[in-house]
């Protein structure tokens, strides 16, 4: 074998998994189409990641949390869900002793911190600026041909190359792909009213808008609309866009002033029919690409790679092949058990809160009020948000 593990994709899940292999003695290669410089210093992409307690613990173990500037970490003290024009809101309060629900951290800073950890990692080769041209698996090995002309073999092939994973498709692993016809526009905005570190998710009629509290009188605004409408808004000047965002958020935080570049992301969800196959596993968005409304996707990717690394570690301690079928199936069972309820629940929530029929409006408003009266419901959701 050329390597024990071949990792395809240098996003957060791929980088975290590569780092999780440190100290195992396994020889690994990470294949990423972006050049080295883009991985080492990724550009701001507008996305603020809501990290749970569990995800923070993973990043701490990997040494990445310590590399994120503390002034760029914004605590999420509480969350509020609003529906339509109703003044009623369902609140999720802090945990015991005022413990934060989570932390908001710029995506590009997480990626930078993870890359810093793997950049000099022994027993790991970074094949930047290259992509997979073809892939195949046999009983004893997986083989990929790179765009550079090189062919490499390994005992385990790990796909971490996005929700539209070309590697997943090349290997014939089917996936449910849902292009939603909607897009989200994200940017930072300054405002005069305090947010008190409370996130607001507002399901308005024909739109969804989230106001995520950042440090320094700033919020990340995430607006979801049909793709064509988002394209129109993205072309506005900063002043006009600020006026539009203020109107769409009903002035909750006062006049919004655009304070960053704006970024547009078409929305699509994916669910792979299998998270593993012969000599192959899928992690991150290649396995399950979540709708961003519940902020579970990034955290699920981190926990999934951790589970795979744990199963590989167990196999090594028992003298077994890290790419054998029992390792892959154990990972798949464990990750699907966690991911499936989140996938189904998120899709149900999105369906309910984007349905503008009168009966749906009544149902979701009644659901919010019922949830407010059930302490066990609120504490259950809070425990998911604060998952360890």
pLDDT confidence of residue 88: 58
CB atoms within 10 A of CB 151: 12
pLDDT at 371 over 60: no
Determine which helix (DSSP H) or strand (DSSP E) holds 314, and give its type and residue range.
Answer: helix 297-317
pLDDT at position 273, please? 97
What CA–CA distances, in Å, run from 273 to 77, 307, 308, 332?
36, 19, 18, 11
Q: Output the average pLDDT for the chain.
A: 90
In angstroms and rounded to an integer, the radius of gyration of the C-alpha atoms of the chain is 21
| Confidence category of residue 100, pLDDT binned at 50, 70, 90 | confident
pLDDT at 246: 97
Give pLDDT, residue 378: 47
| Per-residue model confidence as pLDDT tens digits over 27-55 | 999 999 999 999 999 999 999 999 999 99
State the pLDDT confidence band at 123, using cuts at 50, 70 and 90: very high
Share of the chain above pLDDT 90, in %: 77
Distances (CA, A) of 285 to 62, 150, 181: 20, 26, 19
Over the stretch 338-355, which tens digit does the pLDDT of each residue have? 999 888 888 877 776 666
32 Cα distance to chain centroid: 18
Closest by alpha carbon to 211, among 226, 198, 230?
198
**Does the predicted TM-score (pTM) go above 0.85?**
yes
Q: Which helix (H) or strand (E) holds 208?
A: strand 207-214
pLDDT tops 50 at residue 382: no
Structure tokens at 339: 């991911």
Mean pLDDT within 88-105: 77
Is it the case that residue 296 has pLDDT exceeding 90?
Answer: no
Number of continuous H segments (helices) and E segments (strands) in the chain:
11, 20
Residues 171, 14: Cα–Cα separation, whole Å: 18
CB-count exposure of residue 186 (10 Å: 0-12, 13-18, 19+): buried
- Which is nearest to 382 in space by CA: 177, 100, 178? 100
Q: Which of 2-11, 79-88, 226-235 has the lowest mean pLDDT?
A: 79-88
Kindly state the average pLDDT of the residues 16-27: 97
Q: What is the pLDDT of residue 380?
A: 46
Angle (CA) 275-307-296 rounded to 5° is 75
Q: Could you give all domains of the chain from N- to C-terminal order, each with its CATH number?
A: 3-72+105-177+268-356 (3.50.50.60)
H or E segment at 138? Answer: none
Can you give the pLDDT at residue 352?
66
Share of the chain above pLDDT 70, in %: 88
pLDDT at 205: 73
pLDDT at 141 over 80: yes
Q: What is the pLDDT of residue 346?
A: 81
Mean pLDDT, residues 280-289: 97
The token pair that represents 205 in the structure block: 């009629």
> Is the pLDDT at 293 greater than 90, yes or no?
no
Between 367 and 208, whose confidence is greater? 208
């Amino acid at each position: 074998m050329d390597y024990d593990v071949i990792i395809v994709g240098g996003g957060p899940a791929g980088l975290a998994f590569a780092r999780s292999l440190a100290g195992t003695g396994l020889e690994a290669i990470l294949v990423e189409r972006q050049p080295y410089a883009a991985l080492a210093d990724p550009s701001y992409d507008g996305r603020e990641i809501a990290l749970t307690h569990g995800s923070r613990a993973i990043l701490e173990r990997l040494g990445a949390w310590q590399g994120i500037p503390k002034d760029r970490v914004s605590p999420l003290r509480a969350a509020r869900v609003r529906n339509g024009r109703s003044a009623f809101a369902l609140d999720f309060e802090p945990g015991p002793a005022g413990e934060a629900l989570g932390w908001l951290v710029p995506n590009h800073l997480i990626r930078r911190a993870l890359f810093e950890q793997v950049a000099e990692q022994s027993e790991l080769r970074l094949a930047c600026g290259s992509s997979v041209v073809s892939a195949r698996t046999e009983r004893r090995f997986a083989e990929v041909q790179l765009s550079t002309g090189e062919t490499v073999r390994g005992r385990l092939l790990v796909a971490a190359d996005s929700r539209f994973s070309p590697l997943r498709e090349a290997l014939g692993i089917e996936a449910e792909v849902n292009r939603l016809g909607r897009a989200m526009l994200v940017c930072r905005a300054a405002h005069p009213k305090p947010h008190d570190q409370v996130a607001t998710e507002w399901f308005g009629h024909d739109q969804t808008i989230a106001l995520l509290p950042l440090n320094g009188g700033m919020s990340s605004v995430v607006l979801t609309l049909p793709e064509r409408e988002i394209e129109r808004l993205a072309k506005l000047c900063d002043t006009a866009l600020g006026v539009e965002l203020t109107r769409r958020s009903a002035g909750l935080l006062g006049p919004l002033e655009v304070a960053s570049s704006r970024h547009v992301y078409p929305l699509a969800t994916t669910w792979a029919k299998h998270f593993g196959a012969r000599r192959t596993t899928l992690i991150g968005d290649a396995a399950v690409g979540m709708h961003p409304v519940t902020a579970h996707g990034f955290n699920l990717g981190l926990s999934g790679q951790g589970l795979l690394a744990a199963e590989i570690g167990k196999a090594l301690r028992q003298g077994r092949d890290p790419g054998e079928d029992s390792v892959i199936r154990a990972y798949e069972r464990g990750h699907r058990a966690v991911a499936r309820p989140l996938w189904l629940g998120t899709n149900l929530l999105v369906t309910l809160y984007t349905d503008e029929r009168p009966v749906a409006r009544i149902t979701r408003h009644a659901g919010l009020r019922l949830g407010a009266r059930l302490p066990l419901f609120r504490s259950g959701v809070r425990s998911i948000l604060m998952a360890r």
